[in-house]
Amino acid sequence: MFYKKGLLVITVILSGLFIHAQSDIPVDTVCAGSTEFYKVIKTPGSTYHWVVSKGGSAAYGFDTKSDSVRIKWSNSDVMTEEFIKVVETNKYGRSGDTVMLRVINYPVPTAVISGSDTLFDGNTGTNKIKVSLTGTAPWDIVYNDGSNDIDIKGVESSPFIIETRSLSNPPEIHKFTLVSLKNESGCKGNVSGSAEITVSPPIKTSKIFHN
């Protein structure tokens, strides 16, 4: 019985050490489709064997056994977790431990603005303008309301509804467009679309004339 308990304790301890080791692996973030440069501090006489997960491909480094490698990360519509590993072998033929880097590959986000509404001059604004988003939340959006750029940070869900302030005539047409988009890792996105709000001026009927 004691022997079994001892095994159990050892297993728990080893599991804890494994979890701790995994948590010690550094993490990098990249944008899908980007090409990034990675290196280690070179030891004279050493060669390096690099391994990259299937979400990346090496531009150079794998064959030359150099201390650096340039990796092109694949395009993806969803966030993926990749890795890079390197093993150093010194001039005496002795290999060191595997060094690993986790890489979070974020998809390039997109945003499309759309919507239309008709308001009377002086009325409150509208909530019929929406921004449809793809990629990984949260997003930072900058849109233009026809006069000013407005920055919205930390958008958590799609679609995002833009609630405008009161609009007046002139102008009759207020056009809304997107200026920029990026996700939490700083990946810049693609923006498109437009929204138009028509504002009717107040009616000012003249006095009655006797003809």
Burial zone of 195 (CB within 10 Å; 0-12 exposed, 13-18 middle, 19+ buried)? buried
DSSP 95: B
Predicted confidence (pLDDT) at residue 12 exceeds the cutoff of 90: no
- H helical segments located in the chain: 2-23
Distance CA 105, CA 89 (A): 29
Q: Report residue 146 as tokens.
A: 């026809």
Task: Report the side by side order of strands in the sheet with 139-144.
Answer: 116-120, 195-200, 173-183, 139-144, 149-155
The DSSP symbol for 92 reads: T
pLDDT digits (tens, 9 = 90+) for 189-207: 999 999 999 999 888 899 9
- The Cα–Cα gap between 87 and 71 comes to 17
What the chain holds in terms of domains, given with CATH numbers, is 25-106 (2.60.40.10), 110-200 (2.60.40.680)
Q: What is the C-alpha separation between 185 and 25, in angstroms, rounded?
A: 19
Is 17 or 33 the better-scoring residue by pLDDT?
Answer: 33
Cα separation values, 194 from 124, 131, 132, 197, Å: 21, 10, 12, 10
What's the pLDDT at 155?
96
Provide the pLDDT for residue 131.
Answer: 97
Query: Which pLDDT does position 23 carry in this prediction?
Result: 57
Comparison of pLDDT for 100 and 163, the residue scoring more: 100
Q: What pLDDT digit, counting tens, does each position of 37-70 carry?
A: 999 999 999 999 999 999 999 877 676 789 999 9
pLDDT score at 16: 41
Residue with tokens 């056994």: 65
Q: What is the pLDDT of residue 112?
A: 98
Torsion of CA 121, 195, 128, 156, to 10 degrees: -130
What is the separation of C-alpha 198 from the centre of its chain, rounded to a whole number of angstroms? 34
- Look at residue 20 in the predicted model and tell me its pLDDT: 40
Task: Report the pLDDT averaged over residues 113-127.
Answer: 87
Convert the pLDDT of each residue in 128-187 to its tens digit: 999 999 998 999 999 999 889 999 999 999 999 998 877 888 889 999 999 999 998 889
CA 85 remoteness from chain centre: 24
Can you name the residues that pair with 100 across neighbouring β-strands?
85
C-beta separation of 99 from 23 below 8 A? no
Look at residue 44 in the predicted model and tell me its pLDDT.
95
22 pLDDT above the threshold of 90: no
Q: Can you spell out the DSSP letters for 27-43? A: EEEEETT-EEEEE-PPP
* DSSP one-letter string for 183-209: ETT--B-EEEE-EEEEEEPPP-PPPP-
Return the SS3 of 98.
Answer: coil
